[in-house]
Amino acid sequence: MSSDSSRRIQVPEELKEVLLQFSIAYLVEQPPDVIDYAADYFNKLQANRPAPANQDQSQDDQQSINSQDGEEPPVMQNSRRKSVFAEAYDPEADDDDEGATAIFPKTDEQRSRLVESVKNVLLFRSLEKEQMNQVLDAMFERKVQPGDYIIRQGDDGDNFYVIESGIYKVYINDKHINTYNHTGLFGELALLYNMPRAATVQAETNGLLWAMDRQTFRRILLKSAFKKRKMYEELLNNVPMLKALQNYERMNLADALITKSCEAGERIIKQGDAADGMYFIEEGTVSVRMDQDDAEVEISQLGKGQYFGELALVTHRPRAASVYATGGHVRLAFLDTEAFERIMGFLTDVLKRNIVIYEQMFTEMARRNTNL
Ligand code: CMP
């Protein structure tokens, strides 16, 4: 072995960064062939390589218009990203939320329709009241007709859209992969991750959209939305049941989660209560217990990456057991009933399989108790 080979290999930061950016673009777009996609991705990356720092603005703008590359998710704030898109907006460097946010005046009637449309937008969940008002001010109406292309895959991201009405079909590489029916949002990915549009969105019917421009989106929503998706990524990727979801659906799930903390001994769910949602365990352990005569009997313990509270949501019955925090500090991610139904709807078959396991546990518990 040469002395060279015994040297420790350092992975350069730049390599890590480029590979991470590529992986995100690949995972979001899910192209059929990784090699073709990689060749195309790196060719575009090279073609759009930024010029040195003293490059003049007009050149920079031209490059942005032609740009189709998908690098630079917002985790990595560095100077190279700025030449990729025209406005060179850096949210980390912009502390002034009041700034130049656009305001589109609205009639009372328009505003109340808008409020109704954004009520269930999960991305808006963690916004403060003041930020929410900025969002409402900044949104503008767009009417669409059947056949209109709202977004074309590969384009640079301009707006983000919330649906008031209409049916919209989503295509990736001409393959139909998703349909929005009078509710939901789209167009956030390109703005969040600073990459080209991951899909084409076309109107099937007449419809009404509420749009927000890229800069306002990034100023108000980028940090909170990106942080949340990042925070829950690992947790959600490690829940076996959720493997059946597309990456994009897992991202939507992350938007919907609400972190809750409990101390040891605290009751999280009470047997017999009506269900309001389910929980994923981020940290710590919980004990599942059932009423038995005058006492509670533990039927299982659950830990990190496991979930509970889904049974009542699937069966539409009251809580079948109580759940307590045990083992130190417990951190949970809560998914409310409505978001559960919207995102996890088609997973209910997987969840129903668990009912068999629960039934076995209850039977076992009953058997143990009659033998006591
Ligand atoms: P964006 O990439 O900005 O533009 C196309 C939009 O389609 C995308 O953001 C998402 O909002 C939306 N979309 C819906 N379903 C998917 C999906 N399965 N994969 C990627 N984007 C999707």
Q: How far is CA 153 from CA 28, 79, 89, 326, in A?
A: 12, 26, 22, 48
pLDDT at 144: 98
Residue identifier of the C-alpha nearest atom 9 of ligand 1: 187
**Residue-wise pLDDT tens digits, 262-320:** 999 999 999 999 999 999 999 999 999 999 888 899 989 999 888 899 888 888 889 99
With bands split at pLDDT 50, 70 and 90, how would you rate the model's confidence at 50? low
Residues 6+ positions from 154 with CB-CB distance below 8 Å: 68, 196, 197
Predicted local confidence at residue 221, as pLDDT: 85
How many Cα atoms occupy the beta-carbon half-sphere of 331 within 13 Å? 8
Confidence of residue 148 (pLDDT cuts 50, 70, 90): very high
Binding residues: 188, 197, 310, 319
Higher pLDDT pick, 3 / 120: 120
Q: Is the CB of 123 under 6 A from ligand 1?
A: no
Determine the pLDDT at residue 49: 65
pLDDT over 70 at 368, yes or no: no
- Find the helix or strand (DSSP H, E) in which 180 lies: strand 175-181
Q: State the closest ligand 1 atom to the C-alpha of 177, by its place in the atom list counted from 1.
A: 18
SS3 345: helix
- Higher model confidence: residue 231 or residue 1? 231
Closest CA to 161 of 125, 114, 204: 114
pLDDT at position 327 is 75
Please tell me the distance between residue 186's alpha carbon and the centre of ligand 1 in angstroms. Answer: 6
CA–CA separation, 41 vs 321, rounded Å? 51
Task: Provide the pLDDT confidence category of residue 86 given band limits of 50, 70 and 90.
Answer: very low
Q: Ligand 1 centroid to 201 CA: how many Å?
A: 8
pLDDT band of 21, cuts 50, 70, 90: low
Which residue has the CA at smallest separation from atom 4 of ligand 1?
A: 187
Output 37 or 28, whichever has higher pLDDT: 37
pLDDT at 40 over 90: no
**What are the binding residues for 3',5'-cyclic AMP?**
188, 197, 310, 319
pLDDT at 25: 61
Closest-CA residue, ligand 1 atom 19, reads 248
Query: In this predicted structure, what is the pLDDT of residue 280?
Result: 93
Distance CA 190, CA 265 (A): 44
Q: What's the CA-to-centroid distance between 251 and ligand 1, angstroms?
A: 11
Strand partners, 185: 162
For residue 344, the model assigns a pLDDT of: 76
Quick check: 232 pLDDT over 50? yes
Q: Using a 6 Å cutoff on CB, does residue 246 contact ligand 1? A: yes
pLDDT at 96: 43
Q: Cβ contacts of residue 265 below 8 Å, gap of 6+?
A: 324, 325, 326
Candidates 123, 200, 209, 248: which one to mutate for ligand 1, based on the most atoms within 8 Å of Cβ? Answer: 248
Q: Return all residues near 70 (Cβ < 8 A) that are at least 6 apart.
A: 21, 25, 29, 41, 44, 193, 195, 196
Mean pLDDT of 145-173: 96
Q: What is the mean pLDDT of the chain?
A: 78
Percentage of the residues of the chain whose pLDDT score is greater than 70: 74
- Encoded amino acid at 351, one letter: L
- Tokens (6 digits) for 36: 């073709």
pLDDT of residue 18: 73
Q: How far is the CA of 179 from the centre of ligand 1 (A)?
A: 11
pLDDT of residue 94: 47
Yes or no: say if 144 and 150 are a contact pair by the CB < 8 Å rule: yes
Helix/strand/coil for 165: strand
Atom of ligand 1 nearest to the CA of 178: 15
pLDDT at position 68: 28
Of 259, 233, 305, 196, which Cα lies nearest the Cα of 75?
A: 233
Bridge partners of 301, per DSSP, are 287
Mean pLDDT to the nearest integer, 48-76: 36
Ligand 1 pocket, 81 CB below 6 A?
Answer: no
Question: How does pLDDT run across 311-356, given as a tens digit for each residue?
Answer: 888 888 899 999 999 977 899 999 999 888 877 766 776 677 667 7
- Rounded to whole angstroms, what are the CA distances from 347 to 98, 149, 241? 42, 31, 8
Segment among 151-155, 226-230, 302-306 with least mean pLDDT: 226-230
Is the pTM higher than 0.75? The answer reads no
pLDDT band at 251 (very low <50, low <70, confident <90, very high): confident
Structure confidence at residue 67 (pLDDT): 28
Considering only 11-15, 176-180, 324-328, 334-338, which range has the smallest mean pLDDT?
Answer: 11-15
Residues 96-104 have a mean pLDDT of: 65
372 — pLDDT class (breaks 50, 70, 90): low
Pocket of ligand 1 contains residue 247 by CB under 6 Å: no
